[in-house]
Amino acid sequence: MGEPLLYVIAALGISIVLNILLKKIGISQIIGYILTGIIIVYAFDLSSAKDSHTLELVGEFGIVFLMFTIGLEISLSKMGSMKKEIFGNGFMQVAFTAIVVYAICVYIFGLDFHSAAIISLGFSLSSTAVVLSYLKSSKEIYSPYGQKSTGILIFQDIAVIPILIFIGFLTSGASEGVFEVLKNTLLSAVFVVGLLFVVGKKLMTWLLHFSASSELEELFMGSVLLIVICASLLAHYMGFSYSLGAFVAGMIIAETRYHHKVESDILPFKDILLGTFFVTVGMKVDMLLFLSNLHIIIGLFVFIFIIKTIIIYGVLRVTSQHVDSLKSALALSQVGEFSFVIFAVASMGGIIAEELVSLLVLVVIFSMVVTPFFIAKIGRIVEFFGSKEQIADDLSSLEGIKDHVIVCGYSVVGKFVVQHLDMVGAKYIVVDNSPKHVQEAKADGLEAYLGDASKSSILNALRAENAASVIVTLDNLEKKRLICEGVLKYNKHINLVVKVVSLEEKQKLSDLDITFVVDGKLEVARVLVERMLSCQLKYK
């Protein structure tokens, strides 16, 4: 490439113009970046740059920073609470999908063992970049289906490591025993994670504290970038993916008080590099091969879409509701970006034909291009398949109700709220997203419903437009904000009363037009003083 700076400027200009136009018609910017890659390749005849290692490395660091921000959301304690979503649902989804696709490849398409194994493992993965970008931007990541989807995606990213080891084992001709390979890999993984948590945590905390106390924003930002890159290089040096180190680093910082500042500061870098990744995806598109095999590519995509949707729905439906299971299944039905790595490594090792790899790469790209178009409409799709009827049946007794109070959440504070509402004789209904809390409320003889109060369909079924007030009692700030945004979007004139537990929470909700914000600590202080004034003075 003679003029690399020209290509960078052209890519920036094209992506900005395309994304502005696509934004106006409601299409994801991911499509704009992929189209930019296609345009750049054919406009400047850069077909030789498609396989550039440097370009792929820059693009891969988009995934690295995405995984770092995911780690910020998934602290060690939260990962422990999500072990069912990550290690239970995630393992079953990958295993069942790989087994089913392998059987189809061997017994229907007649492929050999190596090709069938590589394809089944590659197709078992979903797109972390596409799905999590949407879940984070739409804040659906905090919803039940978002948490289930995130858990499965985390396991898939972890599963890439043993998959690549397995491919290496096939490539090496089994010169080293499987047990020996697994043992060395496990020891390396324990070493990397242990080193990052034991030594790295102290270094990260010290570095962030030092840079934050300097009150120089660029120094703090430089420290964060240094942490991400060093953790990624350590993981890569030990034979793992760059993103594993970044993910662990994010989990460590999530346990510190710098969590929110790091997340807000790193966002622009993550988005820019993630955009670069999608540009490199677009550069891999061979338009002639794509057009000549369009029917095969679409057929394979539809086939894998249906297979994965059925399997993921079946896995989740055992322990989850129909709506959440179907939403997660549809969101994860595509093929992910790590499949590029799997197919490329297998091709370089000579265990799968290059012609087949080229076709598979186009299927993956087509899958990632199509996904942003329908992932934002998953709610409507699920409603079309019966969730509206389910809501109507569950909440049919609320027809005509008005001047009632909607209590969001039935944990400790929610229970005290309904007790006081009973004292004043107010009419109320309880809504909670936790089946356990709803069962507790019904056991207490209350009118309680299972649902996400941030969704307009639930608010409509609860007749929120006729409600006297909505009281939000949740502890989780993100879920609390989602409900407030949903309620105000549904009816900006509604009386919204929200409980907060700190000044920081109050500030983070200050941009919303909330009627009353009740500060728990402030109210406790006021009651303490009232009780003191009501006490009789004691004389010796």
Say yes or no: 524 and 449 in one domain. yes
Kindly state whether residue 210 falls inside one of the protein's structural domains. no
What integer is the mean pLDDT of 408-428? 89
- Same domain, residue pair 308 and 172: yes
- The reply to whether 328 and 303 lie within a common domain is yes
The more confidently predicted of residues 407 and 391 is: 407
Q: Does 424 share its domain with 355?
A: no
Tell me, yes or no, whether 341 and 421 share the same domain.
no
The model's pTM: 0.65
Q: Cα 140–270–347 angle (5° rounding)?
A: 95
- Residue 228 banded pLDDT, cuts 50, 70, 90: confident
pLDDT tens track for 247-270: 888 888 877 777 777 877 777 777
Is residue 426 situated within a structural domain? yes
CATH number, residue 301: 1.20.1530.20
Containing structural domain, residue 21: 1-49
Q: Under a CB-based contact definition with an 8 Å cutoff, are residues 346 and 118 in contact?
A: yes
Burial of 180 (0-12, 13-18, 19+ CB in 10 A): exposed
Task: Based on the fold, state whether residues 30 and 115 are members of the same structural domain.
Answer: no
Is the confidence at residue 376, as pLDDT, over 70?
yes
Long-range CB contacts for residues 79-82, cutoff 8 Å, separation at least 24: 79/154, 79/251, 82/147, 82/150, 82/151
CA angle, 142 as apex, 139 and 147 as ends, to 5°? Answer: 125
Mean pLDDT comparison of 51-60, 191-200, 308-317, highest-scoring range: 308-317
| Whether the predicted pLDDT of 388 surpasses 60 | no
Residues 407 and 476 in one domain: yes
In-domain check, residue 509: yes
Distance CA 417, CA 411 (A): 10
- Do 332 and 405 lie in a common domain? no
Q: Do 20 and 88 reside in the same domain of the chain?
A: no
CA 381 to chain centre: 20
DSSP for 140-157, written as a single string: GGGSHHHHHHHHHHHHHH
Nearest Cα neighbor of 379 from 314, 451, 439 is 451
Domain match, 293 and 164 both: yes
Q: Evaluate whether residue 191 is within a structural domain.
A: no
Residue 377 sits at the vertex; the CA angle it makes with 510 and 151, to the nearest 5 degrees, is 75
Q: Do 373 and 480 share a domain, yes or no?
A: no
Asked whether the predicted pLDDT for residue 145 surpasses 70, the reply is yes
Residue 43 has pLDDT above 70, yes or no: yes
pLDDT of residue 313: 93
Who wins on pLDDT, 263 or 484?
Answer: 484
**Residue 177 scores a pLDDT above 60:** no
CATH of the domain at 466: 3.40.50.720
| Whether residues 84 and 128 fall in one domain | yes
For residue 504, being part of any structural domain is answered with yes
* Candidate from 144-153, 165-174, 244-253 with smallest mean pLDDT: 165-174
Binned at pLDDT 50, 70 and 90, residue 333 comes out as: very high
Closest CA to 152 of 123, 128, 121: 128
Classify the C-alpha dihedral 188-189-193-196 as positive or negative: positive
Domain count, the chain: 3
